[in-house]
Amino acid sequence: MNEDIRIHSWPCSYYLDSSKQWIPGKLSLTPLSIQFRADKTGELLVDFHLSGISEIKKESSHLIFSSLTILEKGTKHWFSSLQPNRNVVFNILEHFWREQLVSRQEAGAGAALESSKGKELTGMLEGSQKRLEDTAKVLHSQGEQFDNIMRGLHKIEGDMDVADRLLTELESPSWWPFSTKLWKTPLESKPKETPAAPDPKKQEEILLRIPVIITHRTDSNSKPGKLTLLPSGLEIRDCNSQLLQRFECREVDDIRVHSPYEISVRQRFIGKPDNSFRLLAARMPEAIPLLEMQFSKKIQFLEDALGFAGARKSPQLDLGASIWQAASGFLGATANPGIPAGSGEGTDKEQAQLQKVSQEEAKELRQLVLDFLSGVLFQKNPQNIP
């Protein structure tokens, strides 16, 4: 993901210690850094990495004005007059800062041994295999839903047979000598069947759960929470795991992808306001492919997210080549952050790096590609696979 993407920006004032004055401008958040640019001069006064932040706090300047302080490598940066309010900015900055720390800790566990480019490609292919497994889980869940529908239909049919028999007996008068009631003996009467106790409802499997920043309708206050993706829909909970809203698949009218990190979910009503939630998360790129799979006819990529949508789509006939191209672009962006992925500027360097892959890693990659392609073919035509 390009680190120049602007996730959010807020009008505010920054205290410039050299001139001892507050400078109006805009505070911007990108996936990897925080920036502040002055309005009058357009000068970039603050630009530091999220990993260099030690603390984010709510404080007061001159004991009156509410401010936000960011401690970065021993330097405290003061921001005040934040719009729409300080709490919204604090929740979003803290969310992305904590997710950055978590990703650094996970990456640091294996940093003792330098991973080769072949291992990075292996990781990407394993991620693609995981997406196939998630697809299979959703299809399996939908099959179980169809089985439940058929069981319900059979039960309804049985109840209608019983009702028809009872109505037939009621239609026969009690004095009619040929009534079936007179000829029915206690031994012939069918014993009343006791209905079987229904099985307790199994807990639905969770496809993905990520922390998010939640904004409900036009409310300017954003608060932390969690987004849970289920085979039957999605759930939005607050930071205390209290359920705020559960959307079944049929209840969602549209999902708009504003950026790779921000989406909105809406349910329309007639005669009353729509029920909509705006969700912002550092791990949203993991959730968007699952949402696109579940709500393929309802999801819409806006202008800022079109590049993200196009980068993930590749022709089915050239799936293997697309994986290698995406992997090459990712490696180029990792090795050279200043060069965008896919540009011709870093092609020679990437080819030189890919030549360092050992024979053992090449065999492992080849086997993973074959397993991946066979899994895709099995999902499309399971009846043709022995």
Last residue in a domain, options 292, 307, 322? 307
> How many structural domains compose the chain?
2
Per-residue model confidence (pLDDT) at position 227:
94
Q: Looking at the domain assignment, is residue 154 inside a domain?
A: no
Give the Cβ contact number of residue 246 at 10 Å: 14
Q: Looking at the domain assignment, is residue 300 inside a domain?
A: yes
pTM comes to 0.54
Q: Where does the pLDDT of residue 64 fall: very low under 50, low under 70, confident under 90, or very high at 90 and above?
A: low
Q: Looking at the domain assignment, is residue 360 inside a domain?
A: no
**Separation in Å, CA 115 to CA 57, 108, 123, 278, 338:** 36, 12, 11, 38, 21
CATH classification of the domain holding 75 = 2.30.29.30
pLDDT per position as a tens digit, 219-272? 777 899 999 999 999 999 998 989 999 999 988 999 999 988 999 999 988 888
State yes or no: pLDDT of 333 exceeds 50.
no
Last residue in a domain, options 307, 339, 370? 307
For residues 193-228, one letter each, b for 16 or more C-beta atoms within 10 angstroms of the residue's C-beta and e for the rest, the string is eeeeeeeeeeeeeebbebbbbbbeeeeeebbbbbbb
Last residue in a domain, options 267, 292, 307? 307
Return the half-sphere exposure (C-beta side, CA atoms, 13 A cut-off) of residue 373.
13
Q: Looking at the domain assignment, is residue 175 inside a domain?
A: no
Q: Where does the pLDDT of residue 320 fall: very low under 50, low under 70, confident under 90, or very high at 90 and above?
A: very low
Q: Looking at the domain assignment, is residue 348 inside a domain?
A: no
Tell me the residue length of the chain.
Answer: 386
- Nearest-angstrom CA–CA distance, 328 and 339: 13
The DSSP result for 212-273, as a single string, is EEEEETT-S--EEEEEEEETTEEEEEETT--EEEEEEGGG--EEEEEETTEEEEEE--SSS-
pLDDT per position as a tens digit, 19-44? 889 999 999 998 889 999 999 888 99
Mean pLDDT across the chain: 75
Q: Looking at the domain assignment, is residue 115 inside a domain?
A: no
Q: Where does the pLDDT of residue 386 fall: very low under 50, low under 70, confident under 90, or very high at 90 and above?
A: very low
Main-chain phi, psi angles of 221, to 5 degrees: -85, 125
Per-residue model confidence (pLDDT) at position 78:
92
State yes or no: pLDDT of 199 exceeds 60.
no
- Residue ranges making up the domain that contains 33: 8-110
Q: Looking at the domain assignment, is residue 223 inside a domain?
A: yes
Looking at this protein, which amino acid is placed at residue 209? R
CA angle, 128 then 236 then 204, to 5°: 65
Copy the structure tokens of residue 173: 């008068």
Q: Looking at the domain assignment, is residue 295 inside a domain?
A: yes
Main-chain phi, psi angles of 366, to 5 degrees: -65, -40
